[in-house]
Structure 1
Amino acid sequence: MTVPVDLNYKSFGQGPPLIILHGLFGMLDNWQTLARRLAADFTVYIVDQRNHGRSPHAEPHDYPTLAEDLRHFMETHWIYRAHLLGHSMGGKTVMQFAFEYPDMVDHLVVADIAPAGYPRRHDFIFEALFAVPLDRIESRNEAKAILERYLDEPAIVQFLLKNLARQPDGTFRWKFNLPVLYKYYDAIIGPVEGEPFEGPTLFIKGGASDHITEAHLPQIERLFPHSRLEVMEGVGHWVHAEQPDRFLQLVQAFLPKG
């Protein structure tokens, strides 16, 4: 039996609980602006998943374990039922949780991910991250220059650099647990399965993203029979970051207030 960890979090607002989970290499800070906007209608909890942000580093890193962390978080905070929103890896965590603990889920929002398995898309990112000599670099700019040799998208470089932290001895560390995420990468990109979740579910797809395709729809409809799909045209995988106003509109229209 995996031992759950105590997840780092921030909370905002008052109202029905809404818990938001970030994706791979992310952290709760990525969602802070949207969380504050949703806090007019909900008590919003943004959470660092294990091996990310300020949450503990621990093995294993697979979806049954991440779901168990979420159950532990809810019980620790006396949350018996909540709306759940997850992006990418976080989307798979909330789907796994909904399969295992359907009575604890009110409405479910899954941002640009299907319950399917995926090919290895992040190997070049891992290669870039492992190339940064954390014990020898003396500035963030040095790390940035190394990442830019491997990664040609400035937005990804900036996203990753948010995880670079200076330690008291002057050396740097990644906030995420890079070796463990690499070790469990096949589990992270693997499918989630379970008894169909009968609750109301919203999938939000980036129109320019291939993380949800026509081929995924039968599986989505089988596992989430009361789901619907909204497509944000002209948007990639980072639906909430690229068009936050439109993303917020979709979420607010779907979730009941009170």
Structure 2
Amino acid sequence: MDLFYRIRGEGEPLLLLHGLFGSADNLGGIARLFEEQYQVISVDMRNHGRSPHDGGMSYSEMAEDVIRVMDKESISEAYVLGHSMGGKAAMQLALSYPERVKKLIVGDIAPVKYGAHHDSILKGMQEVAEQSPQSRKGAEEILMAYESEPAVLSFLLTNWRRTEEGTWAWRVNLPAIVDEYHNIAAAMHGGPFEKPVLFMRGGNSEYVQAEHRDAILGLFPQAAVRTIENTGHWLHAEKPDMFARAVIRFLSS
């Protein structure tokens, strides 16, 4: 699959992989903080953003997609930073193709199987698709019955867009995400990856817990964990300067 991606800046290559329901645009803020020192490649993952749609959503497939981007740009080895679903894709990339990853940064996710965290959101998004309101405001009125957090609601609604035909629809491949959610929630396999890894967790987030320590070190024996206090799952958006400083310090050490 040929993913959509954007390149900015110069220096050693740094790949940015976004999370579920996101796109490269969601990481634009931190991309700008990195581009003075690195060649930043921001990717739209499969079934998201401007990348093609496909029925598969396994992390092995996502890792292969990223390898294709690297091959297309003649990048033999890169730093890789992924958040949430993108963090899992980045981990699988490192485990499956360790020679292609120089250092790895994982944003607020562990290499473990998670429960069904998005059932309500997915039901709401399916309801929006079924009713097909022809405005973002109309979609919001439906979706807010399933998700009350304003920031999350706003984030999801960035995907409700007017199509080239003039009608409104989800930009993400919602049927594939629903059908393949078991793969999105899945644990990583392979490895271990013996190079340096930094896990960045939000102090108020529940995604990376002490109980995940053995799973992390089993696959990533050189891993370190850094907590950014007073942030949640979207720690890179809540405290971008602090997040970027920690990443740059890790990459340059």
Name the TM-score class by shorter chain. Answer: over 0.9
- In structure 2, the residue matched to 1:72 is 68
Quote how far apart the aligned CAs of 1:136 are.
4.0
- In structure 2, the residue matched to 1:142 is 138
Which TM-score applies when normalising by structure 1? Answer: 0.95
Give unpaired runs (5+ residues) of structure 1.
none
Q: Residue 134 of structure 1 contacts residue 172 of structure 1 at CA under 8 Å; is this kept in 2?
A: no
> Hey, what's the Cα distance between the residues in 2 that align with 1:156 and 1:234?
17
* Counterpart mapping for 1:203-242 below 5 A: 203-242=199-238
> Hey, what's the Cα distance between the residues in 2 that align with 1:51 and 1:13?
26
* Counterpart mapping for 1:90-109 below 5 A: 90-109=86-105
Aligned residue-pair number: 253
The 3-state SS of whatever aligns with 1:120 is coil
Q: Residue 20 of structure 1 contacts residue 44 of structure 1 at CA under 8 Å; is this kept in 2?
A: yes
> Hey, what's the Cα distance between the residues in 1 that align with 2:132 and 2:187?
38
Larger deviation, residues 27-36 vs 128-137? 128-137
The 3-state SS of whatever aligns with 2:230 is coil
Q: Residue 194 of structure 2 contacts residue 221 of structure 2 at CA under 8 Å; is this kept in 1?
A: yes
> Hey, what's the Cα distance between the residues in 1 that align with 2:107 and 2:134?
37
Matched, 1:186 2:182: yes
Judged with a 3 Å threshold, the aligned counterparts in structure 2 of structure 1 residues 98 and 10 are, in CA distance, closer, same or farther, namely same
Where has structure 1 moved over 2 Å in runs of 4 or more? Answer: 133-136
Q: Residue 174 of structure 1 is aligned with which of 170, 190, 193?
A: 170
> CA RMSD, aligned part only?
1.2
Q: Residue 110 of structure 2 is aligned with which of 107, 110, 114?
A: 114
Q: Residue 62 of structure 1 is aligned with which of 50, 55, 58?
A: 58
* Counterpart mapping for 1:74-89 below 5 A: 74-89=70-85
Give unpaired runs (5+ residues) of structure 2.
none
What's the CA shift string for 1:55-77, capped at 9, x where partnerless?
00012110010011111111011
Larger deviation, residues 164-173 vs 20-29? 164-173
Judged with a 3 Å threshold, the aligned counterparts in structure 2 of structure 1 residues 144 and 206 are, in CA distance, closer, same or farther, namely same
Q: Residue 11 of structure 2 is aligned with which of 15, 27, 35?
A: 15
Quote how far apart the aligned CAs of 1:170 are.
2.8
Quote how far apart the aligned CAs of 1:168 are.
3.5
Which TM-score applies when normalising by structure 2? Answer: 0.97
> Hey, what's the Cα distance between the residues in 1 that align with 2:230 and 2:132?
41
Quote how far apart the aligned CAs of 1:169 are.
3.5
The 3-state SS of whatever aligns with 1:255 is helix
